[in-house]
Amino acid sequence: MGFSSKVSHTINTSYTDRMIFKKFVHALTFIFLLGAGLLTFFLILSGGRPGGTLKNFYWFEGNTSGFNDAPDVTRWYNYRWCGYSDGQTSDCSSTVPAQAFSPRDNFGRSDEMPSSFLNNRNTYYYLSRVAWAMLLIGLVFIVGAIIPAVVMIFKTITVMAIWSTVSTWIAFFFILLAACLYTGCYAKAKNAFSDSNRSSKLGAKNFAFLWTTVFLLLVNTIWSTITVVLHGMNKFRDYKESDHYAGGAGGYNNASSMDTTHNDKSTYDSDKHHSDRTFFTRLRTKKKMMQTQEPGEQPEEVQYVTRDFVSQPTGNNNTQQTTGQGTGQPTAV
């Protein structure tokens, strides 16, 4: 195997390895994106049924004894709140999308209720409801990012890469916002319960799913951005190279045009020189005829046969070959 063959084989192997690695990373990020979508979808559905496995996926659990007719222990879900005792849910509220976390609204005003829930009712109410809406919007953009992510596994297309990157960034923004709102709302509620010597805890499973989704989307946004930047740099480099070659061809064409112009000018000069020589040949012939004419004799009509000088290229550009027609002598008619 020659040296050039070895170099070509090395280049092809390196390119193949890069493509395999690139497809592997695209597939991995697609799995991350798909996982983020499934987790978000599950978070939105959590609390959709009061029984079964979903009863263990809640946002907050607290001791609500003495809050008017509230259960002793209450769990808050996305669509309802329920009493919890002996591992079972009971006395659930009516199903409402984006159930607000607000003990004051859930159970009515009570003197046994921590003052934070009475004085900051709007804070808890809107934080919990807006957070659910942010989850829903984030899920929409995750689904929008999954479609181009599938295409990117097989081929990198500029439009698909930009679409996936923008959708992933928007989804990451809304999911991160939802995570911050949920965490802020229920962390504040836990502090309020603790200040009143009441037990409470956050729903570990829901918050684990939520922040895992944030992490998965963060990985996708970083990789999607890197992919778009690298793809754009490759496109720009290809454009510059094609522009360079086009410029070289243009320079060659310009040089050819200059040579053609020079040849045309040379031909024009040659034709002009030929015309001048023809004129002086006629003048000399007429003068000679007048000198040989007898006194008193009528001048004969003279037909001039002139030589045609044709410039033909030879080894030396300054050499001309002359061809004649006729004898160059006057002929009487």
Confidence grade of residue 134 (pLDDT, cut at 50, 70, 90): very high
H helices of 94-203, in order, are: 103-107, 115-119, 121-154, 158-195
In the chain, where the domains are located:
15-239
Residue 49 burial class via C-beta count within 10 angstroms: exposed 0-12, middle 13-18, buried 19 and up: middle
- Quickly tell me which residue has 């669509």 as its tokens: 79
Confidence grade of residue 136 (pLDDT, cut at 50, 70, 90): very high
Domain spanning 15-239, CATH class: mainly alpha
Name beta bridge partners: 196. none
Asked whether the beta carbons of 206 and 46 are under 8 A apart, the reply is: yes
Q: Among 68-72, 251-255, 276-280, which stretch is predicted with the lowest mean pLDDT? A: 251-255
- In order of 55, 102, 164, 198, 218, the CA distances from 72 in angstroms are 17, 16, 48, 11, 40
Give the tokens for residue 17: 């390895």
What sign does the dihedral 11-13-17-23 (CA atoms) show? Answer: positive
Q: Looking at the predicted structure, is the pLDDT value of residue 314 above 50?
A: no
Percent of the chain with pLDDT over 90: 32
Confidence grade of residue 244 (pLDDT, cut at 50, 70, 90): low
